[in-house]
Amino acid sequence: MSTILIKNGTVLTASDRYDADVYVEDGRVAAIGRALPMSAAEVIDATGRIVMPGGIDVHTHLDMPFGGTVSADDFHTGHVAAACGGTTSHIDFATQTPGRGLYHALDEWHAKAQGKAVIDYGFHMIVRDLNPDVYAEITRLAAHDGVTSFKLFMAYRGVLMVDDGTIFRVMQQARDCGGMICMHAENGDAIDALVAQARARGDLAPKFHARTRPPQCEGEATGRALALAAVAGVPIYIVHVTCEDAIAQIRQARDRGQAAYGETCTQYFFCSEADYERPGFEGAKYVMSPPLRAAWHQERLWHAVRPNDLQAVSTDHCPFGFEQPPQKQLGRDDFSKIPNGAPGIEDRLLMLWDGGVNTGRISANRFVELVATNPAKLFGLWPAKGTVAIGADADLLVWDPARRHTISAKTHHMNVDYNLYEGRTVTGAPVAVLSRGDVIVRDGRFVGRAGRGRFLKRLPGAPGLA
């Protein structure tokens, strides 16, 4: 029997905050209480520290072929980085190859994680090609294989985009098997027209990425996705919401009583379209879709996560090297060829605690809800994950709210040569990270083992959230 006693900490969940010891037995929380009498193989002193659930990042792209290259973190480097930043579970996107079945993609993604995974992981399935087998595969994936969420793209024509007919039919099938739809909502055709016009004018610098993907295109697609989901009667989760145009659509749908949910991502709180104006080609580091917005949208995002217009904060971690590896350079002469995506899996909790909790924008309880509890409830991982409770997995952070840390590509663990938040000193960081009772980060240093991470077989019927 393996045992750990975390003594004298302050337990923090989405709803509570109290002083208690946490006793872990064989990977699960076995007791919580004041001055617990158990002895344990390891005792962690959490005096002055917070004990909270590990972060759950439900939007990542590890080892993903995209933009003419492959995202730079695999299931090992990405997991080490996630763990060091306090994330103990994530859900990645398996991507269907057109002409092939969904199980081919599932096998591919299982193989990517095999022997490398450090933290626990699940998969959403990206549907690109609705061939006749796919309907039954959706049902089987949800019922038997733990893949209960299906991602669709309304942009990137010729790559990931599907038409409204495909979207609607996948929605109906997902509804029938207790699944959830995840949607990348941007009007791809309008964007493609704007991109073609910008290129024809010779407007090729990174800043034209943002100018050719205006917020209205995100708002329109979000409204369309929500309307289709309402007709199909399926729960829908809008990924990477960036702007008031999209927030308003989600808020209205929720006010109508629709099972509509949304996330934003860390970078949209802290970076803005001004970052595209950085000297030389530096703006390419910030090329992601949807793009960074005018700074005033940031306050709208804070305003949306506070009262539950948006329910989660993820990363959309999709890293491409700037010079090492030279992936962003693919678009040096043409912004439309810059691989879309940015690193962030390591920085989410650090940035959100410092920029959200320390500034009073969100409470510490809401922080836990946004980074762990709601993601777990939305995607069928709760109550095993996403909270500190007896019987739950001991995915725990011993968080030092006074620890100062300067974020930098020189010290981060992500496999890229830049960091969106380079040089920012944050206050609050994990000193120990436990995954199912194994200490995988100690004194801020990674001590986990490749291959220990487990696939999270999720049950249909989420979200367990209003």
| Binding-site ranges for ligand URP (CB under 6 A) | 61, 184, 288-289, 316, 318, 340-341
Q: What are the C-alpha distances in Å from 397 to residues 72, 147, 434, 441? A: 26, 27, 6, 9
Nearer residue to Zn ion within complex by CB, 184 or 361: 184
Nearer residue to Zn ion within complex by CB, 24 or 191: 191
CA dihedral 372, 376, 377, 378 (to 10 degrees): 100
**Token code pair at residue 334:** 């043409």
With CB cut-offs between 5 and 8 Å by kind, which of ligand URP, Zn ion, none does residue 341 bind? ligand URP
Q: Is 213 in the site for Zn ion (CB under 5 A)?
A: no
With CB cut-offs between 5 and 8 Å by kind, which of ligand URP, Zn ion, none does residue 244 bind? none
What gap in Å lies between CA 87 and CA 191, rounded to an integer? 34
Smallest distance from Zn ion to CB 105, Å = 16
Smallest distance from Zn ion to CB 284, Å = 18
Nearer residue to ligand URP within complex by CB, 339 or 463: 339
Nearer residue to ligand URP within complex by CB, 152 or 394: 152
What gap in Å lies between CA 434 and CA 3, rounded to an integer? 12
Q: Is 128 in the site for Zn ion (CB under 5 A)?
A: no
With CB cut-offs between 5 and 8 Å by kind, which of Zn ion, ligand URP, none does residue 288 bind? ligand URP
Nearer residue to Zn ion within complex by CB, 80 or 239: 239
Residue 356 identity: G
What gap in Å lies between CA 384 and CA 220, rounded to an integer? 37
Nearer residue to ligand URP within complex by CB, 166 or 365: 166
Q: What are the C-alpha distances in Å from 30 to residues 39, 49, 177, 249, 382? A: 13, 20, 34, 43, 17
Segment contacting Zn ion by CB under 5 A, of 12-20, 75-83, 189-197, 310-318: 310-318
| DSSP track, 370-415 | IIIIHHHHHTT-TTTSSS--TTSB--EEEEEEEEEEE--TTT--SS
Segment contacting Zn ion by CB under 5 A, of 78-86, 159-167, 191-199, 311-319: 311-319
What gap in Å lies between CA 115 and CA 103, rounded to an integer? 20
What gap in Å lies between CA 297 and CA 460, rounded to an integer? 34
65, 68, 149, 166: which is closest to 108 by C-alpha? 65
Smallest distance from Zn ion to CB 290, Å = 8
With CB cut-offs between 5 and 8 Å by kind, which of ligand URP, Zn ion, none does residue 340 bind? ligand URP
Nearer residue to Zn ion within complex by CB, 263 or 275: 263
| Whether 290 contacts 243, CB under 8 Å | yes
Q: At what angle do helices 215-232 and 244-255 cross, to 10 degrees?
A: 20
Smallest distance from Zn ion to CB 444, Å = 28
With CB cut-offs between 5 and 8 Å by kind, which of ligand URP, Zn ion, none does residue 116 bind? none
Mode of pairing for the β-strands spanning 236-238 and 312-314? unpaired
Nearer residue to Zn ion within complex by CB, 73 or 316: 316
Smallest distance from ligand URP to CB 293, Å = 14
Q: H or E stretch including 191?
A: helix 188-201
Smallest distance from Zn ion to CB 64, Å = 9
Number of residues in contact with Zn ion, rule: CB under 5 A? Answer: 2
Residue tagged 């980060």 (tokens):
441
Other Cβ atoms within 10 Å of 33 Cβ, number: 12
Interaction pattern, residues 171-190, with Zn ion; x per rule: CB under 5 A: -------------x------
Q: Is 316 in the site for Zn ion (CB under 5 A)?
A: yes
CA 79 to chain centre: 13
The number of residues making up the chain comes to 466
Smallest distance from Zn ion to CB 61, Å = 5
Smallest distance from ligand URP to CB 95, Å = 10
Residue tagged 């491409």 (tokens):
320
Smallest distance from ligand URP to CB 36, Å = 44
Nearer residue to Zn ion within complex by CB, 59 or 405: 59
With CB cut-offs between 5 and 8 Å by kind, which of Zn ion, ligand URP, none does residue 137 bind? none
Smallest distance from Zn ion to CB 34, Å = 43
| Whether 319 contacts 341, CB under 8 Å | yes
**Token code pair at residue 371:** 């980074």
Nearer residue to Zn ion within complex by CB, 192 or 277: 192
**Token code pair at residue 185:** 């909502």
Q: Is 385 in the site for Zn ion (CB under 5 A)?
A: no
Residue numbers of the site for Zn ion (CB under 5 A)? Answer: 184, 316
